[in-house]
Structure 1
Amino acid sequence: MTYETFRNEVLQGLQSREIGNVSLSLTKTLKSNGEMKHGVVFKSPSSNTSPTIYLEEFYEFYQATKDFDTVIDRLSDLYRSLPVIQVNETELYDFSTAKSKIIMKLVNTEKNRTFLETVPHIPFQDLSIVYYYLIGKSDRMLLDMPVRDGLLKKWEIDTLKLHQQALANYNRLLPVKFGNLDQFLLDRGLLENEYYAALSANDYTNSMYFLTNDFFSNGAVLMTCKNLMDKIADFFEEDFYIIPSSIHEVLLFPKSKAPSKEKLDQMIQEVNRDYLDPAEYLSDHAYYYSRSGQDSNGYVIQNLFQRLPGTIS
């Protein structure tokens, strides 16, 4: 069954199930890094939001098992488990009430040119900081929507104020998580994960640390927060490399324990190519955090912070 046929069969299969008063339609959406995703939109008259469930992983399951009934069962169960979200449009369009729900994310600039043409953003090296309105949180799932130029115009603010507000909100909405990578892998049951196994093969994980948020979602943006980077440098008592393992987290490598930047870049590129979902790609080279802002390694990020106001703990 081709993917196009699969999508149409899924739509018909869901329409034959009892999943409540909901209308269904197929959609395609440009996601992170220019990835086009296909999904099913569930529109209910009881909500002004319409959740979309994307079908790529379900198609992979079908290709492996040929079990179409289980695909429909899983999609139906997933939809039923989603919270009913009602966006208060009065609060959304009023910055005085919406500002408490603004968060930020980090994306690769080159791979997101089309998206960046429609949203306020701040360049950061070869990356860009973008902003989202947090609709809700449930069972470690984040529901959000991008802050686009039109919404910024309604709020009558500029990108600078937007960034300041996102910084002020971040740790309250998405608490920061930082720790030893080996312990992180153990706690999350990821010791057998192919991505991290590639790092473990080089005996690096015991010297590396992870940085993300409590939801392990789009936490790489924390590398743009200067006082947080300063605190980590104080903890290491030295400068360090930042490895952009994905949009969701970065890995940190104290300089004294790290291989050369050339070797780090090679490792990042190999892992990105062989193990990382393209939609989660952030960058293919390491960054260097220098407390003094002076180093010969290239990609020094410390001196970029003068353009980014505010702090995060």
Structure 2
Amino acid sequence: MDYKEFCEHIKDEIKGFLPEQYAAYDTQLHTVSKPNVGEQVGLTFVPPISGTPAPVIYLEPYYDAYLNRGMSVGRLITQIADTAVKGIERGRSGVGGMLGLVPDMADWNKVKDKVTVRVIGVSRNTELLKEIPCRLFGDIALIYQVSVKAPDDTLMTVRITNNLMEQYGILEPQLYDTAMENSQRLQKVTCRPMGEVIGDLLGPMDDPIIDEAPAKLYVLSNETLQFGAAALFYPGVIEKIGNSIPEGFYILPSSIHEVLILPKNQGEKAMLENMVQEINETQVAPDEVLSDFVSEYDARTRTMEWGRDPNLTLPEQLKDKTPDRTPMLPKDVIL
């Protein structure tokens, strides 16, 4: 069966796999535009009681398992039902979705201290970027989201669209200022040698591989390592790194969670871009890819040449989203 038939079949059959106590839940299909991967179909379990969080399960991975890994539809429905039950139970216990944590999503006064920045790629997301407030830096777009930690420490986010910003009654500069202030408070910047980061992830080893990491390769992110590539745009970060690397540096867009900083005398831009593109294709989850293009900072002139797709023509709606320069920001940032 094709993808549309698969989704409709799952929606129609799934209730027969749910425990009896959840028989009153309705099932609906809807599409959501997600960075890098475009529109995805979500199966929503709508509760009978208004205001209770409704679990949403995206069906693309299950269709891939059906199409390419030979898994039966019955087995997949069982898996989806199990996932749905866990989501429903989380909602009933107060650990549910964003609706349960922030019921007044359209009220600026209720969400303004939860708004943060994140980044996505430009060339992969031109259609999506038309619908959301953003600033473009070459192939990297700075966008905004409402971020909330659930009681179990799960980070939940809702992307801010142009329509939502209009409901807030504010303009993009105010959204930018608020989100940047919150991000620095809630998701503090970190910049550490690659070897240290790998060592923290893997723990003590008899034959550590961290010795293989380039001595002057740094990982720039935030303390949570979630959406940390946006820390590149925190006040003073670029200038602070430039002061520490007088020969200038390259920015390698590792993922939406971090970027890598490499002094210019440690590599060639063309070779680095080839490496980034290969890693994006083989080792980074599709929805976490940031960009294929390397940026270059000249410490002498304090200017950035942002990596971009030379063949991309921006839609008219995005041509005024490019700042004239990287904002010059306070110097008291701590790395």
The TM-score bracket by the shorter chain reads 0.7 to 0.9
| CA RMSD, 1 decimal | 3.7
Greater helix content? 1
2:241 counterpart of 1:232 = yes
Q: Does the 8 Å contact 1:106/1:127 carry over to 2? A: yes
**3-state secondary structure, aligned to 1:217:** coil
- Identify which range, 218-227 or 164-173, moves more after superposition: 218-227
Q: Does 1:241 align with 2:250?
A: yes
Native 8 Å contact 2:293 2:307 kept in 1: no
Q: Would the aligned equivalents of 1:14 and 1:76 in 2 still touch at CA under 8 Å? A: no
- Following superposition, the deviation at residue 132 of structure 1 comes to 1.3
1:7 aligns with 2:14: no
Partner amino acid for 1:7? Answer: C
> In the alignment, does 2:87 pair up with 1:72?
no
**Residue 6 (structure 1) shift:** 4.4
Q: Which amino acid aligns with 2:61?
A: E
- The structure-2 alpha-carbon separation of the partners of 1:308 and 1:9, relative to structure 1 and needing over 3 Å to count, comes to farther
Shift of 1:101: 1.1
1:284 to 289, 292, 298: 292
Q: CA deviation at 1:72?
A: 3.5
The 3 A distance-change label for structure 1 pair 59 and 154 is closer
Q: Between Structure 1 and Structure 2, how many residues are aligned?
A: 301
Alignment of 1:1-313 (within 5 A): 3-11=3-11, 12-18=13-19, 20=22, 22-44=25-47, 45=49, 47=51, 49-61=53-65, 63=69, 66=72, 67-68=75-76, 71-72=79-80, 74-76=82-84, 78-79=86-87, 80-81=89-90, 83-84=95-96, 85-86=99-100, 87-89=102-104, 92-189=105-202, 204-236=213-245, 238-256=247-265, 258-293=266-301, 298-299=305-306, 304-306=325-327
Distance 1:210 1:77 in 2: 38
> What is the CA deviation profile of residues 200-234 of structure 1, one whole-angstrom value per residue up to 9, with x for unaligned ones?
9xx55553222223443322222222412233344
Looking at structure 1, the residues matched to 83 and 161 of structure 2 have their Cα atoms a distance apart, in angstroms, of 30
CA drift of 1:264 comes to 0.6
Task: Pick the structure with greater CA Rg.
Answer: 2
Point out where structure 1 has 5 or more consecutive residues left out of the alignment. Answer: 191-199
CA distance in 1, matches of 2:2, 2:14: 16
Identity %: 25
- Structure 2: runs of 5+ lacking an equivalent: 204-208, 309-322
Match for 1:299: what amino acid? W
